[in-house]
Structure 1
Amino acid sequence: MTVMAERTSQMSVEEFEEIALGAPETVTLEFINGRIEVKQVADGDHNTIVQWLARRCMQSRPDLDLYQGQGLRVGAYRQGRARPDGVLAPEAHFAGHGEWADPAGALLVIEVTSYDSDSDNRDRREKPSAYGEAGIPAYLLIDRESCTVTVHSNADREAGGYRDTHTVKFGEKVIVPDPVGIELDTESLKNYVR
């Protein structure tokens, strides 16, 4: 029988929020699974991908907004803090919310991988678990290293993560299921990788 040690949190959520408030603009801090994560500042290709996705979402679903930089309370008991590259939600949904909003109402979170050493653990493992636990219906991962787009759907709050995962190579079409209900042609993403 394998027994896994329970991870001890580095600090309280309140302590993290105080540190994040004073962080320089050159880094983005997140608090996932009880530890501070540092996201690399986005490069031009990363930002272009997020804008590409924003245009596709607006064309397909003009009733939704793609929020960039909106912090979310995620994970078990909302004790994590994530700042996805994009959050798709109904128009004006986050008006009046603070820096770290409740994820209720978010339909989709988007992450675009960075070329840093922690992207594998952060974007491919920890974020799907935290976003699924938070009950966010879908997670879209645009992976510039593997040149793939992965749609995680059917959130599983109890187990953490998502029940369904579908991955396509750049150049193929992928459907983000309801409640988003859009199809993305990923051909142009080939232009934004190293």
Structure 2
Amino acid sequence: DPLKSLTKGKKFKSGRDSSGRISIRRRGGGHKRKYRLIDFNRRDKFSIPARVASIEYDPNRSANIALLVYKDGEKRYIISPKGIKVGDVLESGPNAPIKIGNALPLENIPIGRTVHNIELNVGKGGQLVRSAGGYAMILASDGNYVTVKLSSGEMRLIFKKCIATIGEIGNEDYANISIGKAGKS
């Protein structure tokens, strides 16, 4: 079960618009979900090490999530990178070591490394590359901007102070799951 302090209720829209009328037909039903509050930012926890307490399923996204317990006692969920396991110690900040699951400013990550959960605006939290199996690659650093190649092939210039997490996102077999029939989707 997810940590109660890090979840909240999630109301389904069921294809209704703000006035309650059906704007998209045939939406609705399905299993109830609790929304897990996920830390896409990790800025306010710079230089505080965190232990991976568990890796959990999240019905709201394709990736799994990892529960971190910080040295100061706080618990938070992050998107689970590929290759981390329970008991690993992760860190964030400009001086964090270059290893999977650590979050650093783009300027501090070596060229050629794969990253995920990339910020577009400083302090806003990760917005790019957040789904299962996703990764982007750092290609070059020039002045105030870093060139990142997304899995679509798109090249983006992103400000060097924006934060990204090192490594690929786990649960990469999600794309191979066979739904089987229309009733199961």
Fold agreement, TM-score > 0.5: no
Q: Which has the higher contact order (CA 8 A, sep 6+)?
A: 2
More helix by share: 1
Between structure 1 and structure 2, the one with the greater Rg is: 2
TM-score by length of structure 2 reads: 0.29
TM-score by length of structure 1 reads: 0.28
